[in-house]
Structure formats: C-alpha cells, structure tokens
Structure 1
Amino acid sequence: MTAPGLIAAQAKMAAAGVDQTAIDVFSHYFAELEAGATGLIREDTIEPLLDPPFLEGVDIDDEAARAAFDKTAIIRLNGGLGTSMGMDRAKSLLTVRDGKSFLDLIVDQVKQARAATGARLPLVLMNSFRTQDDTLEALAPYIDLKVDGLPLDFLQNAEPKLLVDGLMPAEWPQDPTLEWCPPGHGDIYTALLGSGILEKLLDEGFRYASTGNSDNLGAVPSPTIAGWFAASGAPYAAELCRRTAADRKGGHLAIRRADGRLILRDTAQTAPEEMHYFTDEHHHPFFHTNNLWFDLEKLFAALKARGAVLGLPLIRNVKNVDPTDTASPEVFQIETAMGAAIEVFEGATSIVVGRDRFLPVKTTNDLLLLRSDAYTLESDGALRLAVGAAPLVDLDSKHYKTMSKFEARFPHGAPSLKDAVSLTVEGDWTFGAGVVCRGEVVLEDTGKPETIPDGTVLEG
C-alpha cells in the first residue's frame, strides 16, 4: 500500500509540472527513507583508496587528446545561490577578478580552449529555478557561445521537503517556495535525461562530459584528461587531489569490501563516532574534487535500463522548513551526490590531478584569496597560484561572512597576500588601499571598528 505522504508528494510534484522521470526517482528514495535508510557508510564496510593513477604520469598523444576533446561537452552545476554568503541570486554571478564573474571566467575558459584546439566544446549549465533567469541574462552578450542544436542550460529538478514527523510534504504558507528543495547534485543524471539534453548531446556527436561546480575555476577544460579518459575505456571517472590537514571536510573515494567497487563517502554519510576515520588525511589520503567525467553513451544506456533510477546512495538531510527559523518544523531533504554514480558503473576509475584543478569558493575567505595577488589570471582563463603555497585566510565570521559585510570592509579590493603565510582577522577591521600582508598576520579584536590606513604593511 502506497504511503499517504508519497501519494501527496507525487501529486504536488505533478501539479507543479515536475518531469515524471524525476517523480519516479523521488518515489524510489521516499521508499528508502520510509524503510529507515540513513545513508550511512560504515568504516568496516570499506577500504581506503591508496594507489589511484596520477595525471602527471599519463602520456597521451596530442592527436588522440584533440579527438577526444572534440567529442567532449562541458557541464557546470549552477543551481547554487550562495546563501551561506548572504546572496540571493546565482553564486556564479559574483565578481572574482578584473570585473569578471565566475560565469564570465568559465566562458573565457571554454572560448580559449575552443580557439586552442578547434574543438566545438559546448558549455551547458544545470540551473535551478532560482538561478536560471539571471544566468541566461548574464550569458546573453556572448552571442557566439551557443553550439548549434544545443541549449545553454537545463533545469535541476525540485522535490517537496518532507516533515520528519509523518513524512508528509511540508506546507509553509508564509513562503511556499520553501516547501521545495533540490534533490542534490546527483539529480544531474535524472535532469539530463528528463530534459532531453542527454539525447541531444549524443545526436550531435558528443561522447564525453566533463562536469564540475561553477564555483570551482580550477576545472579548466582539459584535452589531456579527455584523452586519458577516452583511452581508459572507463564509463566514468573522478578527479581526486591529495589531502592535507585543511581538507578534512571533503568527501573521499573508498573501495567497498562487498564487491570491490569504488564508492564516494561524504560527511553526511559518516557516523559521528567514525568521523576520526573520515577526517584523517593519512587514512583516506585523497579527496573527491567533484570534477567528473562520464561516457554519455554508457550513461544513457544505464538510465534507460534502470528506468532512470541509477540507485545512488541516499543522503538524508534534516533541516528546518525555513532555514532561518529554527522554530519551524523539521523536514527531511532527500539528496544524492553526483559523484556517487561511480559505484553504478563497472570499470569506473579515478585520477589524481594537481591542486590547481580545485579552487572552490565556499566562503569569503576563499574569495579574498582568489581576488588577491596570490593568484594570477592567465590567458586561458585559469586562476593559478602565483606563490609556492596558498596563504591561509581566516576572517571573523561576525563581520565578514556575508558579501555585503565583506565588500564594505575591503572597499579597495584585496590586500597583497603573495608574501603572506596566513591572515587571521578577529574583530571588525576595514582595509585601506594598497595594504600588504607578509608572513603570519593576526589582527586582534579591539572591541570596536578599526581601519587599516592606505599603504600599511602588516607583518606578524
């Protein structure tokens, strides 16, 4: 007998025009949630991944790389609003360098790669209903960006938040949009199929997809990796980086003992009492960048064979229906991770890439670093480290967490950080023009707003 909560959720999704493919996938995960699935991956069920191949050891013929690259599409996840940074529009529209946004720089990267290789290299964004309009408006001036036969974007699906008490769809008349949530970036596969984009890419002769987050400007289109992936014959591959003590939160790949397959484990899938395994950069020495490659033909075949349900592991997130109101009802948000598809495909693999391919911006700390002279913007549209090691930036969240507060305290742009080891700001400090940081800089909280004069050199 079908649960009342599922019947109500299916009806709500159908009334909102959600694609039937997405409704079927949601129904699959509702059944798992109802059965008590938590999505936890226990340490005793996996073994650490210790010896993946390294890109630096790959030797790919230039012609083979070009041929694979010409069959590659660039897909970027662009559904995020940057709410943790106080934003209410697409995070990719945030200015990063030289007056250019994440989106502008991604377009530059694609156009430069096209010019250098002759590849068609379509750029396709997965937007959410909250980011689509602003994003397409921002792309309108790029009249030569679109590749014939392909749109510039497709929409991520939406699903109802479910009340923890009873699993009925949440209702929130104060703001009905808060009754909905995205199904996590694992929805990319469902959305590619349901939107028809997957078939269009195949019809236009594309075989491979290079996928990543729009806030990671390190994931520059790469003919070398395209050539490696094509030569591997693998249906799916993940880019990894070697972990450091600063990478304890990111997900990692592991080998499932039951069948020897690679799987992805994220923070939300780790039991609290086992977090010390998860965060140990020596026990699990490589982290997952969310830069992925997949064979479009094999993805299409898998989706068709499984009725669009790849069966990615459930991620059960508990939130408040209104994230800003802790008194609002608790809800489950059913999510899946894009990278979890690695366990679906037999023969899936991974490759360790340089740290330059992982430059995510999750906080204003990250943004200040990319805006500074510790990074240079190069001709291929890539931001690359200009110094031996990136300085650590730690800004007081009370005064710098949101973009409005951050911009007000750096009215003249980022200070020079190329000679800094770290910058720690405690309290309320506004930076003047031409401020230089050297070595380990700590600004202590004086209990009142402070201003650093123009041209100041901060050291120690």
Structure 2
Amino acid sequence: MATAAAPAAPHTEVIPWELFTEKMTKAGLSQAAQDAFKMNYEQLVAGVTGLVPDADIEPVQELPRLEELKAEGADLKARSELLRQTAVLKLNGGLGTSMGLERAKSLLEVKNGKTFLDLIAEQIKHTRQRHGSNVRFVLMNSFSTSKDTKDYLSTSHGDLLAEKDVELVQNMSCKVDAATLKPATYPDQPDMEWCPPGHGDIYPSLLGSGMLDRLIADGITYLFVSNSDNLGATLDLDLLAYFARSGKGFLMEVCERQASDKKGGHLARRKTDGRLMLRESAMCPDGDKAKFEDITLHKFFNTNNLWVNLQTLKFTLDVSGGVLPLPLIKNKKTVNPRDSSTAPVFQLETAMGSAIECFDDAGAVVVPRSRFAPVKTCNDLFALRSDAYKVTEESTVVLAAPEPPLIKLDDKHYKLVDQMESLAPAIPSLFHCKSLTVKGPVRFEEGVGIRGAVTLTNSTAEPVAVRSRTFEDTEVNLSQA
C-alpha cells in the first residue's frame, strides 16, 4: 500500500530535469502530466514529510446527511435537466493483482454472470431510459486496462464504446531511482520504468487530454467520480441535485468511521485557512496516533465518491498554473516489483480525494455505508456472489439479507480468485449468516447453508468437501468429523 512521504533530508545534488522531460516527452505525455510529475518530484527532492499534527487541524463533527437531502426533493423535470449536464466517470485503471488477476478488475464476474463493467454499463443505460436524459459516461483506464476494457465493451456494450470521449487514459509516471533520484532504468523490460501515478492523475489527465474543455463545451458541468469496484457508488439524483444547488466546486461523500476503520484516514479542517482536508495514517505524527484512531473525535472517512464542478475545476487549475497542489504519496518498491534484487525506486503518486483542500468552497456529505461497498478481497467477492445480495432492476447490487455477512476466508487457500473459485464451486447460502470464518481448505459444494456465526476448520492440507448441510451458530473441525 502506498504511504505518504516519510521524513527525509533534502537531496542536495542537482538533478538535470531534462532527463525527465526528455523521457516523458518521448513517451508522449502531455504538458499537464509533466507539470504534475514535476510538482511531485520537487516535493520528493525537498524531503517534504507531509506530517499533519492534531494541533494543526480541527475535527469535523457535523455534516449534512443524504437522508436529510432526500427530504428536500426536486421535480423530475429539473433532475432530467441536471442529468443532461452530468458525466459519470468510473476509475477503471486497476488490475486487481492482490486478488491474482492479470487484466482489468472490472472484468471480473460479480453476480449472475455479470461483471463490474456490465453492471456499470447497465446502470447508465437504465438512468438514461428512465429519465429520458443522455447522461455522459467515461471510463478512466490505465495503460494496463485500456485494451482489455475496450475489447470487452466492443462485444458486450458496443453502443457505449462508440460514444464520444468514453475513455480517458491515465498518464504514466516515471519511476525514480531511490539512490540517485534520476529516472529509473531497466533495459530488460523498459515498460517497468513506468508506473501508475495514482488516481489523483484524473485532474492532469482531464486537462492534458483536452477532455475537460470538451466536456465544458458540450454543456457538462457536473462530474461524478467513483471506483469501478465500488458497486454502491451509483449516480444518486438527490446528491446531484444537492451538489448543483450548493454551488460548491467539490463535494466528497464520507461515511462514519467504525472501530474497524480507526487505522484508516479521516476528514479534518485545516486551521490555517479553514479548508477541508484528508489526513492519512502516514501523515500522523507518532505522538498523535491515539487521537488519529479516536473515531468519536475524527468521525468521517472518504469513500472516494466525489462530485466535481468542471467549470470550478477549470478555474482552479488556471489559477494554480495548471496543477493542483496535491500532497505527495511516496511508494518505495523495486524497479521490477517481482524481483526484490533489482534497484529500489520511488513511485510518486497522488490521491484524487486530497483535492478537497484545493477548493475554497469544498464540502462533504455523510452517506450510508451501502454507498461504500468496494470489492477488495475474495472475502468481499464470496459474500457478493451469495444470496445475501441481489441485483435490482436498475442493475445495482444491494443487500437482500437482514445484515451484511462478515466473511473471513483463510488467506492461504482463498486469497486469489482462482483459489476461491476452486474451493467454492457453489457459494453457500449466507442470507441468515452473521459471520463465517474458514480455517484451512474447505470445499463448498451444492446445498450448504450458513446461519448465525459459524467457524469451519480443516487442519489438514487436503480440502474437505461439504455439501447438502446447514451450519448454525457453531464451530466445526471438519478434519475430525
């Protein structure tokens, strides 16, 4: 996982900037992309720590809530007009490598034979049909996901692929040699000299590609951005109406932190200028860790569901010289991430949510946890494929069970998708499941039901199959059964 820039002494050797500009220009990177990289690189060389002590911020205790906004309402005609001014952008640059995938994560089957991309496409079409409004659709692909995604769309949703500006391609970022701070080199596989710049690249990508100007020229004012693996992040018309009515340039959806979220980042307000900001764990000094983890003090976390006024974004970029001053995320790896003996490098990244501090009039709204349902692990996928969730007529995936099941599968046997699918050819019924913990290789076949809190253990190396059986509030050692 990427971490914020750690304390470091400024680098005193003068690095010829031309080494980077020549490399980026040769690769076809726009001026906006190069300027954004330069800002990140200058933070790296200067040894910027990014640390934000509690003394410099104020907790955010109260925010508007989505359920309150729904009560305000808006007539259907007004909403249809708003949709004509709106684009939905899905971040689709991830490969899902942590789950063992080697192509776009959005092409993974989620439920009923549908992939993330199928469900997203069908949601867009449903919204258009229901409201008679051609809301725009954009996928932000990376150089790793572009081809796979477009190939899939051409066979499954060719009508969307044929639309104007349906793809925004994420920039590449130079890996930086950790010893010399020069461009990293790896002649055996030159592609490995590059890395993704993080989803904060959305802003230079929009600007440098010309898409920002084209969207504004086409009458698009509002942009809703979310991750393609977050099936809860649908285009909510109440939020859209509120955002338009507020006149804000930037709006972040946040959820209330729970005990399981205390290690993650939170929303805060900077004392120096009163602006909202995000503080991640690596930005917190050691002495403030207790306050950082106090969920009654710092109550909200970023869902990465964002609303951006494109005209305000354009103005803000112009004022800041074409680059939003986003905090640097410094990720230290090896130039070949699969070979620890290769040279150490820095990957310089930014996060799109941190742009909240770049807008004078940014806001946040508290949304239900259902709008934050990312599929990050096979535990998440296992639950989604069960009867605890269902696909609606709008092609959204919602909880069907009384409560979401908590799934903890043994990482040694279920971490990768192909492992999970091999051991779970049939997902058990989880409709009445509170929690399921699996230790060791357990193979789920037809007719299995889980009710209440269940722990299944197999202490042997060989998978134990279970079929046509219901487990309820029990702990069972299957290897002894």
Moved more, 175-184 or 372-381: 175-184
Aligned match of 1:100: 114
Instruction: Please name the residue that 2:32 is paired with.
Output: 21
Aligned residue for 1:392?
Answer: 406
C-alpha displacement of 1:432: 0.9
For 2:197 and 2:189, the matched residues in 1 are separated by 19
- Aligned residue for 1:36? 47
Report deviation, 1:90.
0.4
Q: CA offsets per residue over residues 81-111 of structure 1, 9 Å max, x none?
A: 1011111110000000111100100011111
- Decide whether the 8 Å contact of 1:239 with 1:292 is kept in 2: yes
| Residue 368 of structure 1: aligned partner | 382
CA distance in 2, matches of 1:181, 1:115: 39
Q: Does 1:383 find its partner at 2:397?
A: yes
Residue 11 of structure 1 is aligned with which of 22, 27, 51? 22
- 2:256 counterpart of 1:245: no
1:288 aligned onto 2:302: yes
Paired residues for 1:10-409 under 5 Å? 10-58=21-69, 59-62=72-75, 63-140=77-154, 141-145=156-160, 150-272=164-286, 274-409=288-423
8 A contact 1:85–1:402 mirrored in 2: yes
Determine the C-alpha separation between the residues in 2 that align with 1:369 and 1:284. Answer: 29
Q: Distance in 1 between matches of 2:263 and 2:152?
A: 32
Q: How many angstroms does 1:425 deviate by?
A: 1.1
Inter-partner Cα distance in structure 2 for 1:279 and 1:222: 31
CA distance in 2, matches of 1:348, 1:229: 10
C-alpha displacement of 1:70: 2.2
Distance in 1 (alpha carbons) for counterparts of 2:336 and 2:61: 42
Structure 1 residue matching 2:301: 3-state secondary structure: strand
Question: Deviation at 1:376?
Answer: 1.1
Q: How many positions carry a matched residue from both structures?
A: 458
- Amino acid in structure 2 at the alignment position of 1:188: I
Rounded to whole Å, the distance in 1 between the matches of 2:400 and 2:291 is 33
1:147 to partner: Cα distance: 7.7
Give the ranges of 4+ consecutive aligned residues of structure 1 lying more than 6 Å apart after TM superposition.
none
User: Could you tell me how far apart the structure 2 residues matched to 1:374 and 1:132 are?
Assistant: 32
Q: In 2, distance between residues paired with 1:274 and 1:176?
A: 42
Asked whether the 8 Å contact 2:52–2:279 carries over to 1, the reply is yes
TM-score by length of 1: 0.95
TM-score by length of 2: 0.91
Q: 1:25 to 1:234 in 2, by over 3 A?
A: same
Unaligned runs of 5+ in 2: 1-11, 475-481
Paired residue secondary structure (2:251): strand
Q: SS where residue 261 of structure 2 aligns? A: coil
User: Runs of 5+ in structure 1 lacking a partner?
Assistant: none
Note if contact 1:69-1:227 (Cα within 8 Å) is conserved in structure 2: no
Q: Secondary structure at the match of 1:4?
A: coil
Counterpart of 1:73 in structure 2: which amino acid? A
- Greater alpha carbon shift after TM alignment, 161-170 vs 64-73: 64-73
Distance 1:280 1:394, change over 3 A: farther
After superposition, the C-alpha distances for 1:40-89 in whole angstroms (9 at most, x for unaligned) are 32222112211010010111312433322221100011000101111111
Letter in 1 for 2:160: L
Q: Which residue in 2 is equivalent to 1:457?
A: 470
Task: Give the letter aligned to residue 56 of structure 1.
Answer: E
| Distance of 1:81 and 1:217 partners within structure 2 | 17
1: CA distance between counterparts of 2:176 and 2:285?
Answer: 22
Q: Secondary structure at the match of 2:160?
A: coil
**Cα distance between partner residues in 1 of 2:283 and 2:90:** 24
CA–CA separation in structure 1 for the residues paired with 2:281 and 2:98: 18
Q: Which moved more, 1:76-85 or 1:136-145?
A: 136-145
Distance in 2 separating the partners of 1:64 and 1:277 = 44
Q: Contact conserved, 1:50 with 1:285, CA < 8 A, in 2?
A: yes
- Alpha-carbon spacing, 1:341–1:237, altered in 2? closer, same or farther (3 Å): same
Shift of 1:312: 0.9
Can you list the C-alpha shifts for 1:366-402, whole angstroms capped at 9, x where unaligned?
A: 1111111111111111111112321111111111111
Higher mean C-alpha deviation, range 315-324 or range 351-360? 315-324
